[in-house]
Amino acid sequence: MTAATTFPRAVALEVRDECLCFAAQRTARELARRFDRLFAGLGITNGQFSMMVAMGGMGGPKLGELANFLGMDHATVTAAVRNLEKRGLVALRPDGADRRARRVSITAAGTALIAKAVNGPPVQVVWTRADDLRHDFYRQCAIHRLEATLGPDGNPIAMRHRFSSPAIDATGGKSGKFGAGESDGIGNHVYRVPNRSSEYTLLDSGVPRGWWRAVNTTHGTFALESFIDELAAKAGKDPYEYRMALIDRWVVDQPQDSKEFPFNPERYKATLTLAAEKAGWGKPLPAGHALGIAHNVPDHLTYAAEVVEASVTNGKVNVHRVVVAVDCGRVFNPDGARAQLEGGVVQALSAALGEEITIEGGAKRLYKPFSI
C-alpha cells in the first residue's frame, strides 16, 4: 500500500492565494454558476449561451472550427450542438466542400433566445437578400444528353435520354431510387417515339437542394423541348407543326395514364395551337426578332404551351413578348389563375437570364445582385 502524499497547509494556502491559474479557475467556476442561475429561467446554460453567441459571430462555422474557437474538445461540442438542434435553437447542414463535415448556425429561435438572455430590446430577425441566397436550399443542377434516330419522314423512331442530377430527395442523406422522380418532365413525355429510354445517375453533392416553384419538371422539360427543336431543324420542319404531328395518345408505361382524368391529346394540342395563333406564328416579324415555342408535360391535370418573341442585341437577349395558353379545366378564380401564369413567366425569365449560381469553396459565390 502506498502512503498518501501530504503537503503542509501553508503550501495549499499559498497556492490558493498566490497562484494566478488557481485563481482564474475559481473565478471562472463562480462566474459560470452565476450565469447558469441567470439563464435557468430560459432553459439554457452558460456554456450553451456562449456556444450560440459564437455560432452567430462566426457565420455558420464547421463543428471543428467552433470547438477550436471555444477551446473545447470536438466530442463535447458535438453533443452540445445536438442538444440545441433538438430544441430548434441551432441548425446543422452538410458542408459543401467536405461531406464529412457539418456546419452549424443559430436559428431565428436561437437568436431570439439570446436577445432575451441579455435583456436587450426585441430583435427582428431579417436576413439580407445576399444572406438568403447564400444559405438557402438550391434548385438542383442537371446535365442531360439526348440522342435520337429519325425515320424517312423526319420523325423520331428511337430516343435515348441520359442525365445526372443531385436528387432533391437525397438532401439530408436519404437513400433510394430517385430516377423516376428526377426524370419527371422528360422521361414521361408524350411525344410519339416507338423506342425510347431514360437513364439516371445520381450526382453526389453537398449542396442542399429544395423544391422550386415546380417539382422535377423544370430542368427536364427545358432539355426535352430544346431537343425537339433540334430534331425539327434536322428534319427541316416547322417546330410547331413537328410537335403537333407527334401528339396523338398516351405513350408512357410509367406513370400509367390516369383512369379518372385520361390524357386528352386534342386538349393538349389545342393549347399549342392557341399559343401559336395568338403569337402570330408564321407571320412576318420585325428584323432580328424570332419566335420560340414549347409545350409542357401534362402535369397536375393541366395542359400548357408558350411562345416567346425575342431578339439578341450585342450578345444580350431581349424578350419582347410571352404568350401563354393553358387548359387547367374550370377556373373559379380568374385573377388567381392569371397571377400564377404571369408569376411563372417572370420567375422563368429571371432564372434563365439573370440567376446563375456558382458554388466555390463550398459556399455560394455572389458577385452582384440578381436581376429579376
User: In this predicted model, what pLDDT tens digit does every residue of 261-272 receive, in sequence order?
Assistant: 888 999 999 999
Instruction: Supply the pLDDT for residue 98.
Output: 67
| Grid cell listed for 45 | 446554460
Phi, psi of 326 (to 5 degrees): -135, 135
For residue 185, give the nearest of 299, 318, 59 by alpha carbon: 299
For the domain spanning 139-256, the CATH number is 3.30.365.10
The model's pLDDT over 305-353, given as tens digits with 9 standing for 90+, comes to 999 999 999 999 999 999 999 999 999 999 999 999 999 999 889 888 8
Could you give the residue range(s) of every CATH 3.30.365.10 domain in the chain?
139-256
3-state secondary structure of 371: coil
Q: Which of 326, 287, 335 is nearest to 309 (CA)?
A: 287
- Residue ranges matching CATH 1.10.10.10 in the chain: 14-126
Q: What is the DSSP letter of 261?
A: S
**CATH says 14-126 is which class?**
mainly alpha
d(CA 23, CA 334): 75
The per-residue pLDDT for range 125-182, each reduced to its tens digit, is 677 776 776 777 788 788 999 999 999 999 999 999 999 988 887 876 677 788 888 8
